[in-house]
Structure 1
Amino acid sequence: MRTVLLLLCLFAVAFRPDKPAYRLYGPDLKTKTYAKLVRQATDADVVLFGELHNNPICHWLELQLTKDLQSAKNGALVLGAEMFEADNQTALNDFVQGRTTSKELAAQARLWPNFDTDYSPIVNFAREQKIPFIATNVPRKYATLVARKGLAALDTLPAEAKKQMAPLPLTVDLTLPGYKAMLDMMESHGGSNPSTQTTTTDTKASSPAANFARAQAIKDATMAYFIVQNLKAGQTLLHVNGDYHSKNFDGIVWYLRQQRPDLKIVTLSSVEMADIDKPTVEGTKLADFILAIPADMTKTY
């Protein structure tokens, strides 16, 4: 009898009644529901969905949240994404408003390699529902310029180019957790770490590591700028971005707070875990919602 009971217990441990693809938790790692996420997102001005770019659960949940917010907001929804750069706004508008085909969008915009599998479902839904879709990111050539030469290099750009990014001069606080972590990582590989500096130019603490962090900051600041510029009272803007750009209430969130401290912001951070029923994360308060995904989840690329 004991042997039978032991086998039953082992069977119960090894085989659960279901295999959830994700769990949602709060910053205190207490369980939250998807319904709670939709309610809080509906009441927010801005929702920042921090994704893992190659994770199918992130992309699927982004689509579900988009559909449910469109219904809950009764049309007062705006979409935005890191995956579209500001100088591709016209191409994105033309597609979403039904003036061009998907083939023309691919020819006119710099789409990510995983666009067809991961982002086209949301863009196509926006097209079907006539939802405004904002290309929020700085053109990559300008972020690359900052990474190579520092923020001061942006001052040499023509006025038309400067319209595609956050207003200059840009304040970058290298002591913010995300940028400091980036500097620390690069320092461990032989770079210097000027993370105690706060600067609006590259006259202080200019180094490859610092400029790399500043390139990240021009992306964060630009995304925040175009979010604010395209948000009207009563709307919710759902923004999709890499988790690094908004976790720890940092990055985009920090720049949003500089412009509009009154905004109601909801953040979601995606984390892969060995056991999503026993959540563990490094540090605390990653986001309002933590999307826990099995570490062995298949990838889209």
Structure 2
Amino acid sequence: MRFTLLFLCFLGLAFRADKPAYRLYTPKLKTTTYAQLLRQATEADVVLFGELHNNPICHWLEFQLTKDLQAAKKGNLVLGAEMFETDNQTALTDYVQGRTTAKELATQARLWPNFDTDYKPITDFAREQHIPFIATNVPRRYARLVSRQGLTALDTITADAKRQLAPLPINVDLTLPGYKAMMDMMGGNEGHGAANPHGGQTDMMANFARAQATKDATMAYFILQNWKPGQTLLHFNGDYHSKNFEGIVWYLRQKQPDLKILTLSSVELSDIDKPATDNRNLANFVLAIPADMTKTY
């Protein structure tokens, strides 16, 4: 009997009785619940779900939140996503409104490689429930143009192309911690770039950050263009674009300071019950997922 108890105690130490796929935390890393997330999301004007693009728990929880918000908002839900570029809005709308097939959507829009596994369930739900779905991201060719030549290169594109971006000129503050950290991480801080007539590596990294800011500004612009009071616009984007209340959040605040914004930031941790201090204040809700979670690609 004593041996059996000791063995069971050992099992309790070595193996957890439960293996949760995620935990939710407040900004101060206090545990919270999905019910709290849903309640606050229902009351928000804009919800920015910062995902890890290849994480199945992110995509599953996005789908659950979409379904539950649709039930709670009773027709006052709008969806938006970084994964669709603004010049593909017609193709996306045609599919969501039932005018085209999935095969036609795949030929008419630039879908991400993981669309079928990770984003099609939500897109199909929008189609079934008649939920407006907004393409918010800047067409990649213009983000690439900024990354190579800087923001002034956007002055050279056509008037029709400019309507697919946030209004020009786009204000970019490279002192914001997120953009500055990106430049520093890529070696673009002062002193790391070799001097040349075109500004060297420092300018190259600054332009890369400006390209990211162009995406953030454009996503914020099309969110505001398609949101009305009383609605909740649930937006899916990479975690970088909204964590630390920067990126899209910063641009939304520039235009509409009183907008009620809720953010969620996704992190992968070796132990989801022990978030580190650097996970504090990432968002209104921190989604902690086991680091060894399987990936969708």
Partner of 1:184: 184
Verify the 8 A CA contact 1:268 1:289 in the aligned structure 2.
yes
TM-score (normalizing by structure 1): 0.93
Q: Residue type matched to 2:183 in 1?
A: L
Q: CA deviation at 1:164?
A: 0.3
Q: CA deviation at 1:78?
A: 0.1
Q: Residue type matched to 1:119 in 2?
A: Y
For residue 249 of structure 1, the aligned residue among 238, 245, 265 is: 245
Using the alignment, how far apart are the partners of 2:44 and 2:125 within structure 1?
21
Partner of 1:240: 236
Correspondences of 1:258-277 after superposition (within 5 Å): 258-277=254-273
Deviations 1:80-113 (A, max 9, x none): 0000000000000000000000000000000000
Going from structure 1 to structure 2, the CA distance change for 1:284 and 1:58 (only over 3 Å counts) comes to: same
Using the alignment, how far apart are the partners of 1:99 and 1:122 within structure 2?
17
Deviations 1:243-282 (A, max 9, x none): 0000000100000000110100000000000111122252
Q: Residue type matched to 1:238 in 2?
A: L
Using the alignment, how far apart are the partners of 2:36 and 2:271 within structure 1?
22
Q: Residue type matched to 1:105 in 2?
A: L
Using the alignment, how far apart are the partners of 1:58 and 1:277 within structure 2?
18
Q: CA deviation at 1:6?
A: 4.5
Partner of 2:32: 32
Residue ranges of structure 2 left out of the alignment (5+ in a row): 192-197
Using the alignment, how far apart are the partners of 2:60 and 2:250 within structure 1?
27
Q: Residue type matched to 2:60 in 1?
A: W
TM-score (normalizing by structure 2): 0.94
Using the alignment, how far apart are the partners of 2:112 and 2:24 within structure 1?
27
Verify the 8 A CA contact 2:83 2:112 in the aligned structure 1.
yes
Verify the 8 A CA contact 1:77 1:131 in the aligned structure 2.
yes
Going from structure 1 to structure 2, the CA distance change for 1:281 and 1:118 (only over 3 Å counts) comes to: farther
Residue ranges of structure 1 left out of the alignment (5+ in a row): 195-201
Using the alignment, how far apart are the partners of 1:7 and 1:213 within structure 2?
56
Partner of 2:138: 138
Secondary structure class of the residue paired with 2:186 = helix
Using the alignment, how far apart are the partners of 1:13 and 1:27 within structure 2?
30
For residue 213 of structure 1, the aligned residue among 205, 209, 212 is: 209
Verify the 8 A CA contact 1:143 1:216 in the aligned structure 2.
yes
Using the alignment, how far apart are the partners of 2:9 and 2:180 within structure 1?
47
Identity of aligned residues (%): 76
Using the alignment, how far apart are the partners of 2:73 and 2:13 within structure 1?
42
Using the alignment, how far apart are the partners of 1:193 and 1:254 within structure 2?
25
Q: CA deviation at 1:118?
A: 0.3
Correspondences of 1:121-200 after superposition (within 5 Å): 121-187=121-187, 191-193=188-190
Verify the 8 A CA contact 1:183 1:193 in the aligned structure 2.
no
Q: CA deviation at 1:3?
A: 6.2
Using the alignment, how far apart are the partners of 1:65 and 1:206 within structure 2?
41
Corresponding pairs, count: 290
Going from structure 1 to structure 2, the CA distance change for 1:193 and 1:120 (only over 3 Å counts) comes to: farther
Q: CA deviation at 1:284?
A: 2.6
